[in-house]
Structure 1
């Protein structure tokens, strides 16, 4: 297991390059990544960098999973386990690197470890043959999907032992100057579809990004809501991503006063359509419970109607039959969110809606680190949060967020516990009927105030648009 000193070393990893070096593309990031260790790629910045740096044994292609490194695959019948053997080709990383990387999923502690409980052992059979032993009943699609994620990325064993990062993705790390920039260089066969090098500038304020963009010193950055109407944000220069996120208010399930009637009241009190139209200028989409409607359009689950619409009268009626009424009206409810202007503006709109049904709400803007730390410890009554999908699967909107074994910083930030949900999410071979059950059950239970799915809008330069594949990495 890696020590904390290694993690901190990676955070400050810096190599010597010329400061004056020109980069084909410069992209803004709002913060430094928490880690470059793929096992800890859980924050949004780490996830974005992982797309450039990391590659797993499998890759997602047209809703299937393929491997550029495997010559032959063999499934060995066995009554106790699922056994798969892989013969590697000449282009693959060394078998030692693959064995080392996959074995870390079993041996080390990391936030998404529960997702890899199906993996029982990894063995080297010969100089080019690897064997995986999986939990009995683990479906082929599920384990291939999990081994295609950044957490299962292959890294260099020898380099890792020397406190260096060797990645096998499209790009390699050249320099990381904390709080300033991260430099990557393309390390695969030359292509015109991706730039030869990229500098990521750490720019917390979108106004700074806009200033640099106008000086032609920045090629891409995420537009804040209040910048969507600037003259530069034309249809030709703006890329919009839909259905990849869900914004919500977690309702702390450890508080016995927050029963189903209280949670119903909160959900019926929010005028989502009005907020999306007036405050978010229609740059957000409604959800069905925790799933963005644009994402649901891609799949056909035939979910039963469970309307959660604005209904002030119904909200007040539900509140009156909640467990702690009327005492709950005199208690101050702690409502937390990140302290930037954008999140505070949304928080004030939600606060106003909750006060209209008679609740006393204390707004508490916080820095990101203490907000997430304290939320993970079960502090706060309500917390405004955003979940960004890190892979294209309906389970990515369900498993980390509602699994009873992933409470707090594991993803389940409302501390929601439902035995039937946990049993379904723990199955080694889940199907569409299981997904339908989880979505409908969670939507009825309402561990969140379901809000909306944010549309991600990026302002990009003409140079950025020259590289046809680059938009897929945003």
Structure 2
């Protein structure tokens, strides 16, 4: 029923366009969001829009969790559970909206539901008092972290029942015309550091974005690799973000032929540094397994040396040890990726490397929606994907991507199963030592072809730079 209602809601947001001059800022997005329902904010476009639209009970700020809506909290314990009593102030959303939104974390099915297993119940005690009950052994830091993510955002109950979307973030949705634009207006106290209105234009090709940017009809867009050398991309007008993403190829773990020797062979076959230098024009960073090197440098941990550098001869030797050799050489591997030029170019480079060790590979460029849907169903042998962290924690590069209970659209898109990894991810008080062990384990087992962390480069206008907080939302 909710799915049907959501479809109706999305269709109802299709209206006629407005003059672009009415919008203070215009920003390009490569595709429509899969959902504006916060429970389904798993694709990159949805996550970016969630920063503008949504707000939860807690927000992360300088490594701590704050809330403009809460005056105080009281944490008590019983033999069977943890209890957090929350006292709201007058600026908070109606308590019925908070109760409704958090109750959806328990009652509905959504990709990241396993992240909220610690939540047991939500109860209204008074118009400004809420009681949350949690699994015994879970921690306050874990609750606040998860309740600060887009999935736990607060939405209006009455509006949602009527197939409308009321949000409590900085911006509200005015209209969404599928495959064309999404319009937002600022809904909080005036802030000179953020624009009063934004139109997001759905522009799959960066060449189109560049044309509009040059006509002063666009204020920001993500630069594809082949546009990084254009005259406009000066240091003043290019914003670069590092260490937020990891690009990888899933190796479908449901195929028994894809054993550790096969996975080793694939990883040894990729000339990462050469591709970064020649194809990506040095606008990417190497990773240690699933973690970007720039991000690891902030953690101050020492990881053991695990060699996955390019070694073609070693790749061929490992392939010969694999379970299905030599039959695997005559099987055509189904290698999928997004159908845009940038992803196909990377896909062709990876395909060439795999063919040089004797494998047969068929490229299958796909639209985003069927690619993710079919990957979530376990289809395809190899899939080129990118993960963007939705909050600043090493666990965000580990938990959703490798948890054995979050396979498919939950984030674990290689269907990787490891009991040790699962037990570490389920620990109530996970430490940096646990993260170190987990990173090393995953890197040794290679459920992915580990590639690189792409640097995100955005070309922005003088008008965009007027709003000093806006860059944080990209």
Question: What range is the shorter-chain TM-score in?
Answer: over 0.9
Correspondence for 2:292: 292
Q: Is the 8 A contact 1:7 1:35 kept in 2?
A: no
Residue 242 (str. 1) matches residue 217 (str. 2): no
Task: Identify unmatched segments of 5+ residues in structure 1.
Answer: none
Correspondence for 1:109: 109
Shifted more, 12-21 versus 377-386: the winner is 12-21
TM-score, normalised with respect to structure 1: 0.97
User: Could you tell me how far 1:14 is from its partner in structure 2?
Assistant: 4.8
Shifted more, 374-383 versus 10-19: the winner is 10-19
TM-score, normalised with respect to structure 2: 0.97
Q: Is the 8 A contact 1:135 1:428 kept in 2?
A: no
Q: How does 1:144-155 map to 2 (within 5 A)?
A: 144-155=144-155
User: Could you tell me how far 1:428 is from its partner in structure 2?
Assistant: 2.8
Correspondence for 2:174: 174
Change in 2 beyond 3 A, CA 1:80/1:172: same
Secondary structure at 2:240 match in 1: strand
Q: How far apart, in 2, do the equivalents of 1:174 and 1:330 lie?
A: 54
Correspondence for 1:131: 131
Correspondence for 1:394: 394
Residue 200 (str. 1) matches residue 204 (str. 2): no
* Structure 1 residue ranges (4+ consecutive) displaced by more than 3 angstroms after TM superposition: 14-21
Q: How far apart, in 2, do the equivalents of 1:15 and 1:375 lie?
A: 32
Q: How far apart, in 2, do the equivalents of 1:131 and 1:11 lie?
A: 36
Residue 273 (str. 1) matches residue 280 (str. 2): no
Secondary structure at 2:373 match in 1: helix
Aligned residues: 474
Q: How far apart, in 2, do the equivalents of 1:414 and 1:377 lie?
A: 11
Task: Identify unmatched segments of 5+ residues in structure 2.
Answer: none
User: Could you tell me how far 1:20 is from its partner in structure 2?
Assistant: 6.1
Question: Deviation string for 1:252-271 (max 9, x for gaps)?
Answer: 11111111011111101111
Q: How far apart, in 1, do the equivalents of 2:283 and 2:388 lie?
A: 16
User: Could you tell me how far 1:7 is from its partner in structure 2?
Assistant: 3.5
Aligned CA RMSD, in angstroms, stands at 1.4
Shifted more, 420-429 versus 226-235: the winner is 420-429
User: Could you tell me how far 1:147 is from its partner in structure 2?
Assistant: 0.3
Q: How far apart, in 1, do the equivalents of 2:142 and 2:135 lie?
A: 12
User: Could you tell me how far 1:205 is from its partner in structure 2?
Assistant: 1.2
Q: How far apart, in 2, do the equivalents of 1:194 and 1:212 lie?
A: 22
Change in 2 beyond 3 A, CA 1:405/1:20: closer
Residue 76 (str. 1) matches residue 76 (str. 2): yes
Correspondence for 1:352: 352
Q: Is the 8 A contact 1:250 1:385 kept in 2?
A: yes
User: Could you tell me how far 1:397 is from its partner in structure 2?
Assistant: 0.9
Residue 228 (str. 1) matches residue 228 (str. 2): yes
Secondary structure at 1:267 match in 2: helix
Residue 470 (str. 1) matches residue 470 (str. 2): yes
Correspondence for 1:66: 66
